Structure 1
């Protein structure tokens, strides 16, 4: 991207959610160079080579937000807050996936936008008003004619997937009432740097937002952040509450507090990112060493929760089916396939970790609490989890 100073190179990576069928194992996979940089003007951190949306978000998209109890609970709690605090008559969700958020509202109240038609159909079949479209000016203008303006727009882990942020916010401005509220949540750049979670970077995560970077984009479109909630979800996320400048709603101290934290950490300094890159290289060496030591001692390692994040780790650290026997996962669309790039088989989650397993690599580390609760018998019998954040270790 223009005006970017690159600070991290995660090597050649496949498309993170492009799980392979058996008959595709010998075919050449599409790969791209995953370099990450910071824009010297806006302070936005982004990947250097965005991939076409149509290649990433299509009718075979495997991610389902309903597969996580943590996500479902978070959406329920937010829905209660929205109804209590903002009382919107009409809500639009950008990136509605399988309807895990909008199902918390009356069907008359909500509109969903989801470009992956296979998951959009799930919500439509349940009677919700959804459109299989990408979020852009054309979509916003179409909705304005068909649905009219909305009081609240919500988007979780989607805005950071869209390259043209100026078009994103111009489109939102068109359809959001002047006194309306925009709520977006995405992984926190500050937490990513602090916890060394370099796997937040993959082809779909074009950006990882800081408050400072996001504010610089929003002010061009006369939007401002008036409140921030910090969340544990996805290893540390920010939920931004945003309004149009003409809306006189007061700006809470949470915004000032978050900015202070980011400035103190050095979010606006290139030296911060160069130090991060050094820690990432060290993390790679440590993680590979852990895997090799376990295998040399004739122990078996499996993976738990094959995620887009784990694609980055496995390919960057060159951890393949020689080190990980297989992954288990609850998502049907991933089962009986193979991990992108590293070609590790993925099997159906049997409801527990089998007795012949001693070590489990936690691909879905961001749902660690939920997983540990589910796998208490594995932990009781002495089973160990391998995790890469904040530093690679055996738990």
Structure 2
């Protein structure tokens, strides 16, 4: 196996979670009678560029098929985040009715709806059929394709260049990172801007967020590695923002190397912070396995203790990160009888691997569990606020990452 960016042979193991089914491969009732395919889930660190990555053990197109169940618009906080971003980007870049905004992995139109509302031309690139349809129903033009260099050439020939390219939480999902970034450079207008959001590897390590590892995430990034990848394709990072989303993310602003965008001090400041944390040395990446194991063992011990004392624990949020945690810990329906979720696209299905059923939230009021285990811990406050009624019968909330916390 070689690094997907610089082709250096990979030897250093960052994390080994054994094997698991794809985290968004939810099961139908019929599928419960068929075998599931589990794939190795093992990450390596490149000794040259320090890109943390998993081998592509399942094809990109299989992971992001038409029945993909993640719809961005079911999180209120994520919609608010998108709206704030659009307000800021439009003002900062002076976008208007003559501009073109492209979003890659535009999902169900969660972000572009705010661009369209301002009368700014926009287009989504989204490979999964269900979410693309949902976006079109919002009036968002959506091309149902994977983005890459070949697509970029076709697009520029037919439609021209984009003044703003948005790509939120997709960089990690790309198996051929060089092809993807080369495509960005091709589509971007001469003085245009690219903004990309992705979970920050420094925060993942610091807060033991091993459950954000799953097959759809091919790569895990530091700023210094992303800077090197973009520079290889003639793109320059001119600003970076540190965000609270997804447990700690970065939003980078990039442009063509010779564009007029002036580099902000935040870029060098964060590069220095990463260097001081040791991210430019392999030592930083070693020892993460024991941190992941502690989170897993603490979670399992909690569930076993509640089971022994006849306290009922159920889950909230059929999130991919929850599936990583449950499958690595070997949790089944005897310890967590069901998970509730707000998305009707997940309700009536079963979690991959653990085969725990996904139910409507109304089941909580019916059963009055002692504990609600919040699997998407990054939305902890939003979910606790939404489920405040659980406290009326003495119910409590639990999260396992980065530490076991009961509230």
TM-score, structure 2 length as denominator? Answer: 0.94
1:42 is matched with: 49
Deviating 4+ runs (over 4 angstroms): 351-355
CA distance, structure 2, for counterparts of residue 276 and residue 394 of structure 1: 24
Task: Using the TM superposition, give the Cα deviation of residue 127 of structure 1 relative to its aligned residue in structure 2, in angstroms.
Answer: 2.5
CA distance, structure 2, for counterparts of residue 287 and residue 119 of structure 1: 33
CA distance, structure 1, for counterparts of residue 281 and residue 243 of structure 2: 25
The answer to whether the 8 Å contact 2:368/2:390 transfers is no
2:100 is matched with: 90
Secondary structure in 2 matching 1:25? helix
Task: Using the TM superposition, give the Cα deviation of residue 382 of structure 1 relative to its aligned residue in structure 2, in angstroms.
Answer: 2.9
Note the alpha carbon deviations across 1:205-255, whole angstroms, 9 max, x for none: 111211011112111111121111111111111111111111132211111
Residue 64 (1) aligns with residue 71 (2): yes
Task: Using the TM superposition, give the Cα deviation of residue 19 of structure 1 relative to its aligned residue in structure 2, in angstroms.
Answer: 0.6
The answer to whether the 8 Å contact 1:8/1:277 transfers is yes
Task: Using the TM superposition, give the Cα deviation of residue 270 of structure 1 relative to its aligned residue in structure 2, in angstroms.
Answer: 2.3
CA distance, structure 2, for counterparts of residue 44 and residue 382 of structure 1: 45
Unaligned runs of 5+ in 1: none
Task: Using the TM superposition, give the Cα deviation of residue 268 of structure 1 relative to its aligned residue in structure 2, in angstroms.
Answer: 2.3
Q: Structure 2 vs 1, CA of residues 246 and 94 (structure 1 numbering), >3 Å: closer, same or farther?
A: same
Map 1:343-382 onto structure 2 (within 5 A): 343-350=355-362, 353-354=365-366, 356-379=368-391, 381-382=393-394
User: 1:149 aligned to 158, 161, 179, which one?
Assistant: 161
2:111 is matched with: 101
Residue 296 (1) aligns with residue 308 (2): yes
CA distance, structure 2, for counterparts of residue 192 and residue 75 of structure 1: 22
The answer to whether the 8 Å contact 2:169/2:197 transfers is yes
Note the alpha carbon deviations across 1:146-180, whole angstroms, 9 max, x for none: 21111110010112101111101111111111211
CA distance, structure 1, for counterparts of residue 140 and residue 355 of structure 2: 37
1:217 is matched with: 229
TM-score, structure 1 length as denominator? Answer: 0.96
The answer to whether the 8 Å contact 1:200/1:208 transfers is no
RMSD: 1.5
Q: Which deviates more from structure 2 when the two are superposed, residues 382-391 or residues 214-223?
A: 382-391
Unaligned runs of 5+ in 2: 3-8
CA distance, structure 1, for counterparts of residue 155 and residue 76 of structure 2: 31
Q: Which deviates more from structure 2 when the two are superposed, residues 141-150 or residues 268-277?
A: 268-277
Q: Structure 2 vs 1, CA of residues 353 and 242 (structure 1 numbering), >3 Å: closer, same or farther?
A: farther
Note the alpha carbon deviations across 1:264-292, whole angstroms, 9 max, x for none: 22222222222221111122221111110
Task: Using the TM superposition, give the Cα deviation of residue 130 of structure 1 relative to its aligned residue in structure 2, in angstroms.
Answer: 1.1
User: 1:338 aligned to 330, 347, 350, which one?
Assistant: 350
Secondary structure in 2 matching 1:337? coil
CA distance, structure 2, for counterparts of residue 353 and residue 265 of structure 1: 46
1:114 is matched with: 126
Secondary structure in 1 matching 2:87? helix
